Structure 1
Amino acid sequence: MKQKEIGKLPPFSVAMCVYAGDNAEWFGEALQSITLKQTVRPDEIVIVVDGPVPKTIKNVIHKYMEISVQESFCLKPVWLEKNRGLGNALKIAVSQCQYEIIARMDSDDIARRSRFKTQLEILDLNPHIDVVGGDISEFIGDKQNVVGKRTLPVTDKEIKRYAKKRCPFNHMTVMYRKAAVMKAGGYQDWFWNEDYYLWIRMQERGMVFANTGTVLVDVRVGEEMYRRRGGWKYYKSEIRLQKYMLDHRVISYGAYVMNCSKRFIVQVLMTSRMREWTYKALIRS
Structure 2
Amino acid sequence: FKFMIRKFNFKTPGREEDDVETKLYTKADVNARKAAAGEVQASDSEDPVSEAITRGLGGKKNISDVDCCATRLRCTVHDASRVNDSILKATGASGIVHKGNGVQVIYGPNVTVIKSNLEDYLEKAPDTYAEAEEAGEAKQEETENTETEKKVVKRIVISSPVTGKAADLGTAPDEAFAQRMMGDGAVVTPEEAFVYAPEDGEVAFVFDTKHAVGYMTDSGVSLLIHVGIDTVKLNGEGFEVLVENGQKVKKGQPMLKLDLDYLKANAPSLATPVLCTELGDDQRIRLLKEGPVKAGEPLFEVEVLN
Q: Does the pair score TM above 0.5?
A: no
Task: Select the structure that is richer in helix.
Answer: 1
Task: Select the structure that is richer in strand.
Answer: 2
TM-score range for the pair, normalised by the shorter chain length: under 0.3
TM-score by length of 2: 0.26
TM-score by length of 1: 0.28
**Which structure: larger Rg?**
2
